[in-house]
Structure 1
Amino acid sequence: MKRLIKYILVLPVLVATFSCEDYLERFPLDSPSSETFFANETELEMAVSGVYNRLWFHPEGISWILSFDFASDDGWDRNGSALQALGRGEQNADNGYTNSFWSHFYRAINRVNFITSNGAHLLDEMDPAKFNRLVGEARFLRAYFYSYLTELYGDIPLVTSTLTLGESQTPRTPKSEVVDYIISELDAIENHIPSSPSSKDRISKGAVLALKSRVALWNERWEVAANAAKQLMDSGDYQIDADYMSMFTFDGDNSPEVILRIQYLRGVQTHNLPRNFWSRLALGHSNKKPPQDMVDTYDCIDGLPIDQSPLFNPQSPFENRDPRLGYTLVVPGSRLVNWIFETHRDSTMTWDFSQDPPVRVENIEAAHAFASFTGYLYRKHVDDTDYPTDVGASEQNLTIMRLGEVLLNYAEAKIELNQIDESVYDAINAVRGRESVQMPVIEMGKTQEEMRNIIRKERRHELGMEGFRYFDIRRWRIAEEVMPGPVRGRVNRYGAGGWLSEPPIIDPIGTPSYDHIDNASEMVVVENRAFNPNRDYLWPIPRIELETNTALTQNPGY
């Protein structure tokens, strides 16, 4: 545990840069230089650890992987930030959030290129299996970062070796070729990476197959996606975790379902997810919030949407709901750390369970200017044990790959191939049927269109706040439908009941409509968004990159 990052404190800066001439060709005597680095196995380990630490990236105060969802229909960032501008469709070539990904990922890629360009001689000087594993891990991470770059920006420069200044004017490579490269890299390293399912802190063969299934799915390479997912499923290395919530707490390090986590360690790198997600009573700032639209997409326990289920009561809207709603979000009336979370403005007092017996205390969530907003919080990825000392500096590891996603990748790829056999239903039902969820079985006999709707809705419920929704609505080309319009919170007027008078109408993929509800005007509106389908499916190339690399061209509309 945490062993991977032991070298990072001594990692030399040189592996993060392009190669350059050393001043007077004099090499430092007390540390490696770019001219002598990779003199031995230890230095290679240091360099690979330096690539792993590029996973520590926290734009707008939150892990980059989760941050995307706050520019989707599943989230909202209350800060007046560059991320909020992205959600509103107001980004441009100077947007600090979108620009930071380009620079951060290419720095990470440069670290890998330094390794592959300068470390080959060590193959004859150390155990070949260990060499191939270390270099394979670095190549995996390069493929991982490229997968995000090409999804966000489209065609991008594909750079696979260190560049001289004279080679720096590099044009964009078509996205299809970048995807070809990513998949070929994963194929090349697969047999050099051991299975090691118990090791969550570094790349395993399971991670290689999971990434291949994801990248292929995102790019409609259905057979590749299905085959990679099936290979991982058939390996038996991972099993569905009976406890959904535990995968996103400290216990996730031991989950049989988790494939890969980003490692944190106090004194080296921590994160502040509890501060961003938790309420004021729990010492959080509740910056990042889910909207009412996300709450209403979850079905009832009979498997029916809330506008069809007889189990749904608009005056008790969180009863009889898919348990993943409560595992993913903090809803009014539920417990958060030591308090009952309630956001209706008339709820001036709440219960404090830190005392025995519990006592009534002032509820600052009800009226605080920065507490209410949508009326909901995120629960996933935070652990109560971080309260109170580590709310702003948690070392809880972050799950970024797990079997549940791979099963849904497999099912979606097979559905798109129209190869809807028993294995597709089994994959979906394995996710829905875990012990802590137990949603009804999807029965066989559905059409391709019905199954397409089922899998899209299932991904939203199962993978909520794991960084997938932003990419799903873009690749399905539905962002132009689900993004424009108001970002809503709960009914929250003084003296009002606090709930909608009737359920919204839920479409086949879980998107709610409130147009028919007589008290919908009482819902909080925190923002109005827009989405331009002729522009917003791609991010702008940063202006500074266009000015320094004149071989680049800008994406349409920017």
Structure 2
Amino acid sequence: MKNLRYTLLGICISAMGWMGCQPDLLETIPNDRISKEIFWQTIEDATFAANAVYPSLDGTSLFSYDGLSDHVLTNHPFNANVELQRGFGTIASGRYFSEWQNAYRAIRRANDFMDNIDQVEESDQAAINRLKGEVMTLRAYQYIKLAMLFGDVPLITSGIDIDTGRSITRDPVSQIWDFVADDLSQAAEWLPYQNGGRVGKGAALGLKARAMLYAGRYEEAASAAKTIIDSQEFALYPDYFELFQYEGENSQEALLTREFAADVNAHNIYATAAPWSQIPGSTGSLYVPTQALIDLFPMANGLPISDPGSGYDPRNPFDNRDPRLYQSVFLSERTPLPDGGIYGSTPGTDGSDAVQITVYSTATGYNIRKYVDAEDYTNPSNSGLNIMLMRYAEVLLTYAEAKVELGQIDPSVFDALNEVRQRESVGLPPVTPEQAGTVDELREIVRTERSIELAFEGFRLFDIRRWQIAEQVMPGVPMGRYYEDNGEWLQIRLDGFDRSFDPNRDYLWPIPLREQELNTNLTQNPGY
């Protein structure tokens, strides 16, 4: 036993001596996570890191932006949007914080990629540059939203530590636009138009056109849009309704989509938008159209319903209208439902979705039809339908609007505008220079076309802000459909749901309270 003790002691002393000669022996690589020491080595690693930024793109949340506008009502009274729509939002409101947090989480992932990508030893520099272009485009997508929602925000372009995060300040929104423009220009140089379903040149240039339009930099907006148009890489899908159904996925109109797959990476846009009657055991009708939007759709002859010569009949308001109205909205007693029935919303009836038949049925008498695909009827929370984030029609309308704002009204403006209006399934008469009239009249035509074509795609909130018309269109009681009751013609009024908009405050959201508590250097927007 004595000899055994000496033997063990000797082994221990030898082992300690050997370990003492290897100071890095205890610096082991963790096996419960991916470590930087072994990760940034191959093009596959870089691709995985780029993939981690893609989930930050909007999905069903697109509807929620329109749900804060005059064209869409947030239909569930307990939804977080309601207090904002009514002007009751405070710096402690969760919606403000979640938008800020989600955007900067995505930016952090993108910055981590950009900080480390050059460690990858890869002979194919074009492949590295493509991934850089993808991530730069995805990061710009977030900064565009932040700039439109909050104005001045911290411009963070590389990884930061906790102490820095508690001391950063807001950068002028003009610097955000400069950064976005430069990054997207560089990304566009590196990216091909066709990139295997990933972010491509069209997305980079399209986002630059969008950002510059939002920023009021119309020359740059028109130039980026024109580059896409001249490339002939994209085209309008012939059927407007199918464009937002499974049939229209991955069409030549799509520049940027958030891709989903049933059972793997699904979403619930069907359950969010579809009429209550089409959501067995669920709620539905979270966001519903208002009459303000319905009234924008012209007659099939192209004339607005307010024109005495349009042929509009107030007692038959849905006859002979722009086909996009039927393709975008469930209308009363005339639109087929996914279950094979007929949509019926007339108050006081036993229609499928009569107003007030349940707390979840539409309050305005309308429901959104875009993205409601009958294929999802049996499993409404397991939709694999891709969500369109940018499409060619937006590019055409961006070009037309930017040229109008520049006063450069030439045939190309009417070509872009009329290409949208004359989609095969729409077929509205073209707008001519004689019909357009003055610059102000043409501006209204372009804005109306944009509001109709891009309805329910997340643009209206940002448009009424940059057009500085929110205080004109937001306040008051939301209005719904007209209907007949015992020979009397009535209109739905959502009394008690007055919306408000303070132009001295509400053109920007507040910096969230939790962010200011963590960093007192973050100044607050006026009025909060």
Query: Scaled by the length of structure 2, what TM-score is found?
Result: 0.89
State how far apart, in whole Å, the 2-side matches of 1:557 and 1:346 are. Answer: 43
Does the CA-based 8 Å contact 1:217-1:413 persist in structure 2? yes
Alignment match, 1:37? 39
State how far apart, in whole Å, the 1-side matches of 2:472 and 2:483 are. Answer: 26
* Structure 2: runs of 5+ lacking an equivalent: 1-25
Match of 2:170 among 151, 161, 172: 172
Question: How far off its partner does 1:433 sit?
Answer: 0.6
1:269 aligns with 2:265: yes
Alignment match, 1:487? 478
Alignment match, 2:316? 316
Match of 1:78 among 40, 59, 75: 75
Alignment match, 1:355? none
Alpha-carbon distance change, 349 to 411 in structure 1, aligned in 2, over 3 angstroms: closer
AA aligned to 2:377 is Y
State how far apart, in whole Å, the 1-side matches of 2:362 and 2:263 are. Answer: 33
Match of 1:250 among 238, 246, 250: 246
Question: Helix, strand or coil: the match of 1:423?
Answer: helix
Match of 1:221 among 203, 217, 220: 217
1:434 aligns with 2:434: no
Does the CA-based 8 Å contact 1:77-1:289 persist in structure 2? yes
1:534 aligns with 2:504: yes
Alignment match, 2:89? 91
State how far apart, in whole Å, the 2-side matches of 1:126 and 1:496 are. Answer: 78
Does the CA-based 8 Å contact 2:331-2:343 persist in structure 1? yes
Question: How far off its partner does 1:81 sit?
Answer: 2.2
State how far apart, in whole Å, the 2-side matches of 1:341 and 1:151 are. Answer: 37
AA aligned to 1:243 is D
AA aligned to 1:547 is E
* Structure 1: runs of 5+ lacking an equivalent: 1-23, 58-62, 351-362, 501-518
AA aligned to 2:527 is G
Alpha-carbon distance change, 85 to 523 in structure 1, aligned in 2, over 3 angstroms: closer
Question: How far off its partner does 1:457 sit?
Answer: 0.8
Alignment match, 1:12? none
Does the CA-based 8 Å contact 2:237-2:248 persist in structure 1? no
1:554 aligns with 2:524: yes
Task: Tell which deviates more after alignment, 102-111 or 390-399.
Answer: 390-399
Alignment match, 1:154? 151
State how far apart, in whole Å, the 2-side matches of 1:493 and 1:368 are. Answer: 21
Alignment match, 1:296? 295
State how far apart, in whole Å, the 1-side matches of 2:268 and 2:487 are. Answer: 35
Q: How does 1:107-186 map to 2 (within 5 A)?
A: 107-122=105-120, 124-168=121-165, 169-186=167-184
Does the CA-based 8 Å contact 2:41-2:119 persist in structure 1? no
Alpha-carbon distance change, 126 to 460 in structure 1, aligned in 2, over 3 angstroms: same
AA aligned to 2:392 is L
State how far apart, in whole Å, the 2-side matches of 1:302 and 1:277 are. Answer: 29
AA aligned to 1:127 is D
Alpha-carbon distance change, 436 to 189 in structure 1, aligned in 2, over 3 angstroms: same
Residues 196-218 of structure 1: CA deviation (Å, up to 9, x unaligned): 17x4x321111111111100001
Query: Scaled by the length of structure 1, what TM-score is found?
Result: 0.85
Alignment match, 2:18? none
Alpha-carbon distance change, 420 to 242 in structure 1, aligned in 2, over 3 angstroms: same
Alignment match, 2:29? 27
1:413 aligns with 2:402: yes
State how far apart, in whole Å, the 2-side matches of 1:172 and 1:106 are. Answer: 13
State how far apart, in whole Å, the 2-side matches of 1:547 and 1:279 are. Answer: 41
Residues 276-329 of structure 1: CA deviation (Å, up to 9, x unaligned): 211232125212111122111211112222122442111211011011111111
Question: How far off its partner does 1:382 sit?
Answer: 2.2
Does the CA-based 8 Å contact 1:347-1:366 persist in structure 2? no
Alpha-carbon distance change, 526 to 76 in structure 1, aligned in 2, over 3 angstroms: farther
Residues 379-417 of structure 1: CA deviation (Å, up to 9, x unaligned): 0122111111x2122111101111100000000110011
Task: Tell which deviates more after alignment, 218-227 or 270-279.
Answer: 270-279
1:66 aligns with 2:63: yes
Alpha-carbon distance change, 526 to 394 in structure 1, aligned in 2, over 3 angstroms: farther
Question: Helix, strand or coil: the match of 1:339?
Answer: coil
Q: Which runs of 4+ in 1 moved over 3 A?
A: 363-366, 491-497, 522-526
Does the CA-based 8 Å contact 1:51-1:138 persist in structure 2? yes
State how far apart, in whole Å, the 2-side matches of 1:427 and 1:447 are. Answer: 18
Question: How far off its partner does 1:346 sit?
Answer: 4.5
AA aligned to 1:483 is M
Question: How far off its partner does 1:494 sit?
Answer: 5.4
Question: How far off its partner does 1:47 sit?
Answer: 0.9
Alpha-carbon distance change, 153 to 349 in structure 1, aligned in 2, over 3 angstroms: closer
State how far apart, in whole Å, the 1-side matches of 2:362 and 2:519 are. Answer: 45
Does the CA-based 8 Å contact 2:110-2:136 persist in structure 1? yes
AA aligned to 1:487 is P
Q: Percent identity?
A: 39
State how far apart, in whole Å, the 2-side matches of 1:279 and 1:195 are. Answer: 38
Task: Tell which deviates more after alignment, 148-157 or 239-248.
Answer: 239-248
Alpha-carbon distance change, 167 to 254 in structure 1, aligned in 2, over 3 angstroms: closer
Question: How far off its partner does 1:348 sit?
Answer: 2.3
State how far apart, in whole Å, the 2-side matches of 1:140 and 1:366 are. Answer: 44
AA aligned to 1:254 is N
Alpha-carbon distance change, 193 to 447 in structure 1, aligned in 2, over 3 angstroms: same
Alignment match, 1:391? 380
Question: How far off its partner does 1:142 sit?
Answer: 0.5
State how far apart, in whole Å, the 2-side matches of 1:188 and 1:491 are. Answer: 51
Q: How does 1:274-289 map to 2 (within 5 A)?
A: 274-283=270-279, 285-289=284-288
State how far apart, in whole Å, the 2-side matches of 1:425 and 1:83 are. Answer: 37
Match of 2:358 among 344, 364, 368: 368
Alpha-carbon distance change, 332 to 45 in structure 1, aligned in 2, over 3 angstroms: same
| Matched positions, count | 493
Residues 484-535 of structure 1: CA deviation (Å, up to 9, x unaligned): 00111224685455xx5xxxxxxxxxxxxxxxxxx55x64547210000000
Could you say which structure has the larger radius of gyration?
2
Question: How far off its partner does 1:368 sit?
Answer: 3.0
Alpha-carbon distance change, 480 to 110 in structure 1, aligned in 2, over 3 angstroms: same
Alignment match, 1:357? none
Alpha-carbon distance change, 162 to 64 in structure 1, aligned in 2, over 3 angstroms: same
Does the CA-based 8 Å contact 2:477-2:494 persist in structure 1? no
Alpha-carbon distance change, 83 to 372 in structure 1, aligned in 2, over 3 angstroms: closer
Question: How far off its partner does 1:364 sit?
Answer: 6.5
State how far apart, in whole Å, the 1-side matches of 2:433 and 2:389 are. Answer: 31
1:335 aligns with 2:330: no
Alpha-carbon distance change, 526 to 382 in structure 1, aligned in 2, over 3 angstroms: farther
AA aligned to 1:237 is E
Alpha-carbon distance change, 320 to 129 in structure 1, aligned in 2, over 3 angstroms: same
RMSD of aligned residue pairs (Cα, Å): 1.9
1:461 aligns with 2:455: no
Match of 2:203 among 204, 207, 215: 207
State how far apart, in whole Å, the 1-side matches of 2:444 and 2:298 are. Answer: 14
